[in-house]
Every structure is written in structure tokens, then in C-alpha cells.
A and B are shown apart, each in its own frame.
Chain A
Amino acid sequence: MTSGAVSIRNVSKAFGTFTALDNVSLDIEPGEFLTLLGPSGSGKTTLLNVIAGFERPDSGSLLVDGVEFITKPPHKRDLGMVFQNYALFPHMDVFNNVAYPLKLRGLAAAETRERVRQALETVQMAHLSGRRITELSGGQKQRVALARAIVFEPKLLLMDEPLSALDKNLREHMQIELKRLHDRLGMTTIYVTHDQQEALTMSNRIAVLRNGGIVQLDTPKHIYDRPNCRFVASFMGETRMLPVGRSGDGYEFAGRRLKLAQPPSAADAQWLVVRPERLGWHGDEARDNRIDGLVVDVVYRGDSHSISLKLPGDHEISIRRAPTEDKPLPEPGQTLTLWLKPEASVLVEEAP
């Protein structure tokens, strides 16, 4: 039985004059972990709400395992959802929160107890089953919300920025845990976030959204290494965009012809994507692309030195110098030569 295949077709939604979703189409494989990534106002939450049935689009179609869902009320969609603020019911204890969907489905008391126990064990919360919601920490609430969303074995699991309320350490820990849980349960998961790190860590594929449309849909590695436009490139990681010019049938930067491992995806590429961690201290003039920068200041950081460089075209970038680096520490005012390998030299256009 295939289960949890989602097919979104031409979904549009406007709020007054604001276009929240602009003719979005997207196919999600059964068992896939797909992340909708974008800044606020990009339409990612609206799209999730359309899938959940909380938002009625103006037009479009939503097929889940070949069945039209678009006018189905939320309670008949059978999908689990974890909310940003968890939305646990404060007037019920942990057990009753998790048992709620089972009671609605008319399960016998014994079976309800057993399945709630299993779900709580899955998220390591079985020992707190009698607690009141108000007595739980943020991380515990997160786990209970997850247990409640999976206890009735929905075809789809939707998550709306579920980790954003947690502190940084816990957030990173929960990312790994969610990923393991997904591997174990194999439920199709649609995850909304504005945090690129989260998206890269957890997803099978990422859909980057902007202004109500999908800009790029690809694996985390491709999204990071081969962004298809300036927006995606600058949204992922700490990125500087350096303007490039045409030179014959190729491209040039600061008077030097760029060596590329593969031609740019777009015909009129205008920007070289530069990420600090891809800049090497050693390179080969014949093989690699050379970038010269003027050292502005050097800051000691304990585990490394941080060096601010001014690149041609008035772009500033900060790079790390590891203590193991054998090149001498530059001084402010000096010129530093850095190298970018052709595989790491990516050219993008302004917009897709």
C-alpha cells in the first residue's frame, strides 16, 4: 500500500490584494521529509495550512494518495499536525491530550491506553503521562505534541516551525531526534521553517519559497551547493554575492577569467556565490579562481582568528583562520589572496 503521496496542483490564495500563494504545484513522495523553507510572508505557512485544511485556497487541487482533499474539512483529513506553540490542551493532562484523537475515533479504553503508552514511549515521555500540561518544560511539550500528532497513525505529519520556541541547544538535539523518528516511522512529513540549518539537517528535499511561489525544489546538498538564483544562494548560509562580467563565452571577476566546473544554470548569470568556508588559503593559479582582499581587521576568537576582508566591489566578508593554518597571520592593511575551487564557484542569476 502506498501511503502519504501528496500532489499539490496550481494552488492560489490571495488575502485581499496580497498574493499568499501564486499557482503553486508540488509533488511529495510517500515517506519523504520535505521542508518548506522561506522568510516570513513567503507563503510557507499558508501552504501548510492549505494542506491541513485550515485555509481555503481560491483555486487549485490537493491530492493525497490520489484522493481530492481540497474541500475536505480538516477533521476528515486524518493528518497529524505539530503547531509552533504546540497547542496542547491546557485543561487536559498529558495522557488525555494524546488520547484525544483516539477517543474521537471511538477506540476502546484498553486499546487507547496501550496506544497512548506506545506513542509516549516513542518520544520518551511515558513516565510523565499524568502530568498537567502547565507543568511541562518546552522540550517536554514538544514531545507530547509530537506524540499526539502520531498516535493515530496519520498518513501525513505536518509541522509548523515546531522547534522555534526552544533554546538553541535543545533545538539542535531535537532536530536529530525528529530525523531519527522520521526514519523509524516512515511517515510523509511536511515541515515548515525559516531556519536554513534546520532544513539542511533534517530534510530529504527542500522547497524554497518566496512571494508565494516555489523558487527551488531540490535536495539539501543541491540547494546549498547549487542554488539556482541569488535569493536561494543568499538565504542559505552566510553568503556574499560578487558581481561578475561576461568575457567572450565565459565570465570574469576582477579582471580574471573564472574557471567553472560546470556552466551556470541560467544564461544571464550575474553573481558569483562566495561562502567564507569555501575560500581556501592555498590554491593554484592555473586551476583555481583567485580572489584578492584587503585585510580590514583581525580579531582573536579563541579557537581561531576572524579576519575581515574587503573584496573588490566594496563587499566585506569574514573568514576564519584555524590555528593549524601555516600561512602567517595577516595584518590590517595587507592584501590577502584566497582561492576558490572551480567546483565551489557557482554563478547565479538575479531571479529564476
Chain B
Amino acid sequence: MTAAALDTQPLNAGLLGDDERRHRLAMFGLSVPAMLLVALVLLVPFSWLAWLSLFDASGALSAENYARLLRPAYVNSFVSTLEVAALVTGVCILLGYPVAYLLSQLPKRAAQILLVFVILPFWTSVLVRTYAWLVLLQREGIINTWLKQLGLISESLPLVNNLTGTVIGMVHVMLPFLILPLYASMRAIDPVYLRAAANCGASPAQAFRQVFLPLSAPGLGAGAALTFVLCLGFYLTPALLGGGRVAMWSTQIADAVAKFANWGAASALSVALLVVTGLILWLMKWGVRRLGTSLGER
């Protein structure tokens, strides 16, 4: 650089620029170890598998793995995954909304104590809870025994190793995921709005329907979307409580790898699941916003 060029440069600009870049690099460097780990365990294998899904058994580029997804067995598992996810989400909303609502209306201390009932299952291992349900629901299990002793049924009800058991177990796992964010969003609704509605002459039911419900819709939508998406990829409970009769997406992926060592099929299934999950999340985000505004306008 010539002396003339130096003169036109702002004082120390080069030095300060280097210093700033060094600082940024150092701060970026702090997340590198964590990034490397995520790359090793998640990003690299997944990209690798996605790449492999584009080739057939002989190593030629083909859509064979994706064409396979159209076979009835896989199509049925997609459909039943969506059905189970929708059913579980629906039941969670029906059970979770009243709980979150009541907790949000209680004094904070009381609500915090009652929240333990939601948080305890949240902290308890999913495996333990699923096992407990197995014990409760099986043919000679506690619920069937009691119902028989009470004379309500004469034959054991098939509560497990089928859709019923799977849905009960999944609802139990997912309910806290719906209640906790919903409760937080309902707490944030200022009770002054409800008082204002009452002041304007709304009955409690009207105030709830016309003011509280629309205001809680975004929180409900977010909680429901989270629940639905978690259901789509859920493995443990369907595997144990479904007894092999509820073919979910995730159990298909596991079977493809563990039973058939068919990496091509497993990869194609995974890619499809990821795409569908992303799509649903995006749609719901869009829909929740619409829902929030349209409920408010009514």
C-alpha cells in the first residue's frame, strides 16, 4: 500500500476491522465443539442417508426407494400415523384446555402447586409411564380386573396391543406438552379484558367465547402443533402399547433398519417424514395466525 492510499484510509480502520473479526471468530469458535457433535450425530448421517435414498440396491440413481413409499403397507402406515396424531392431539386439547384454563384463573401459588401434577409426569421417564400403562391396561391388568369385580363387564376389554392402548399412552405423554405452553399463554392474558367484557354486558359464557377463547387461540395452536408434530415421530409408546398392530411411521423406519437392514427404505421414509413434519409446522403456523384473527373478528 502506498503512502497516499494510507492517507485516504480512516485512522486505524484496518486495525480495528481485524480486531472486530478476531473477536467474532473467537465468539463463533465457542459454539464449534457443540456444532461438531450435532454434525457428527445428526447432520452428517442424515445428509448421508438422504443421499443414499436416491440410489437403488445396485447403486444406480433411481426413485425406487420413494416409489416404494406408495406401496399399501407404507401408505397405510402414513395414514394411521396421521390418524393417531390427530386423535391424540384432539384428545389432548379436550383434556388439556380446561386444565390450563382453570390453572390460569387460580391464584399463582395455588396454580404452581397444582402444576406439579403436570410436571411430575413430564419429568418421569416415558418408558416407566408406558410400562405403567401396560400394567394398568393389559388383559388381566388392573383396570380389567376392577371392571370385572364391579360387574360392569364380563369379558376383559382389549385395551392394549391396539390403537386404544397406543392413544391412551400417547395422550399421557403429550398432555404436558400441550398444557404447559397453553397455561403460560393464558397467564399472559390480562384479566382486565374479561372484566371489560363483563362491564360491557357479556355473560360469563359470552366473555369466555368472545374474549378469552380468541386470545388463547395462538397459544392453543402452538401447543397443538407441537403435540401433533411430536406424535408424528413418536416411537416408544406405539412400539410397546401397539403390540405391533399399530404401524406408525417411526416403527416402520425402525423395522426397515433393524429387521430388514434396508437403509434405502429407512432413508426415504425419514426424508418423507421430515418433509411432512416441516410442511405441517409451516401450515399450522400460518393457520394459527388466521384462526387468531378470524376468531377475534366474529
Contact = CB atoms under 8 A, between A and B. Distances in A.
A71 B15 contact: yes
Interface in B5-48: 10-13, 15-17, 19-20, 23
B11 A58 contact: no
A59 B10 contact: yes
Nearest to B15: A71
Nearest to B23: A56
Contacts of A9: 11
A58 B19 contact: no
B110 to A, nearest CB: 29
Contacts of B20: 56
Contacts of A158: none
A71 to B, nearest CB: 5
Interface string B171-211: 00000000000000000000000000000000000000000
A197 interface: no
B11 to A, nearest CB: 5
A60 B19 CA distance: 13
A70 interface: yes
A64 to B, nearest CB: 15
Q: Name, among A10, A58, A59, A60, the residue most crowded by chain B CB atoms within 10 Å (CB to CB).
A: A59
Contacts of B11: 9-10, 59-61
A70 B15 contact: yes
Nearest to B19: A71
B10 A70 contact: no
A203 B292 CA distance: 57
Q: Name, among B10, B12, B20, B23, the residue most crowded by chain A CB atoms within 10 Å (CB to CB).
A: B12
A58 B20 CA distance: 9
A59 B11 CA distance: 5
Contacts, number: 31
A10 B19 CA distance: 18
B15 A10 contact: no
A60 B10 contact: yes
A57 B20 CA distance: 9
A228 interface: no
Contacts of A58: 10, 13, 16-17
User: Size band of the A side of the interface?
Assistant: 10 to 19
A59 B23 contact: no
Nearest to A71: B19
A9 B13 CA distance: 12
A60 B12 contact: yes
B25 to A, nearest CB: 14
Contacts of A60: 10-12, 16
A54 to B, nearest CB: 12
A227 B22 CA distance: 44
A12 interface: yes
A10 B16 CA distance: 13
Contacts of B12: 59-61, 70-71
Nearest to A23: B10
Contacts of B19: 56, 71
Interface in A40-68: 56-61
A12 B12 CA distance: 11
Interface string A9-51: 1101000000000000000000000000000000000000000
A47 to B, nearest CB: 15
B10 A10 contact: yes
B137 to A, nearest CB: 51
A58 B13 CA distance: 6
Given A56-B20, A56-B23, A12 B10 contact: yes
Nearest to A11: B11
Nearest to A68: B12
Nearest to A70: B12
A10 B221 CA distance: 54
B16 A56 contact: yes
Nearest to A72: B19
Given A56-B19, A58-B17, A59-B13, 8 more contacts: A10-B11, A56-B16, A58-B13, A58-B16, A60-B10, A60-B12, A70-B16, A71-B19
10 tightest CB-CB pairs across the interface, nearest first?
A59-B10, A59-B13, A10-B11, A71-B19, A61-B11, A59-B11, A60-B11, A56-B20, A70-B12, A61-B12
30 contacts: A9-B11, A10-B10, A10-B11, A12-B10, A56-B16, A56-B19, A56-B20, A56-B23, A57-B16, A58-B10, A58-B13, A58-B16, A58-B17, A59-B10, A59-B11, A59-B12, A59-B13, A59-B16, A60-B10, A60-B11, A60-B12, A60-B16, A61-B11, A70-B12, A70-B15, A70-B16, A71-B12, A71-B15, A71-B16, A71-B19
